[in-house]
Amino acid sequence: MDMGSGYTPPFLPVAPRKIRVNYDTPTRLCNILGVGRQLAQAIVLIRENTGNLLPDTLEAIIGRPLTFGDMTELDFSTYPALFREALGYGDGAEHVGEVEWGGQSQIGPLTHTKGG
């Protein structure tokens, strides 16, 4: 083996990881076009209270249709724990529809989050 040959193995680019709508954190969800911090937090709250999101649900939340480009970057794989919670078999399902507003839990629109 000639160490002085200057051989460099070919560079293999790593494909960017898709945004996992039903798994990822608000920070990661901010990579969806048009989604800021508050909307990302609302997406997480909605999915925790209603279960896994589908493309048409995400479209309604973000207020625009998903493009082909969006769909190539998004992964809508189901998160089994969300399904169980939405059916009432897990922690948090008893709080469906409740949101924190000013540090207090209240029944209300899911778009209101603490501090925002």
Every domain of the chain and the residues it spans:
19-107
Q: Residue 87 in 3-state DSSP?
A: coil
User: Which pLDDT score is estimated for 83?
Assistant: 67
108 to 12, 24, 54, 67, 105: CA distances (angstroms) = 49, 24, 22, 31, 9
98 to 49, 77, 94: CA distances (angstroms) = 9, 25, 9
The pTM assigned to this predicted structure is 0.61
Q: Residue 20 in 3-state DSSP?
A: strand
User: Which pLDDT score is estimated for 66?
Assistant: 97
User: Which pLDDT score is estimated for 42?
Assistant: 96
User: Which pLDDT score is estimated for 81?
Assistant: 85
User: Which pLDDT score is estimated for 108?
Assistant: 40
Numbers of helices and strands, H then E, in the chain: 5, 4
Contact of 94 with 86, CB cutoff 8 Å: no
User: Which pLDDT score is estimated for 82?
Assistant: 79
Low-confidence ranges of the chain (pLDDT < 70): 1-5, 7-9, 11-15, 83-116
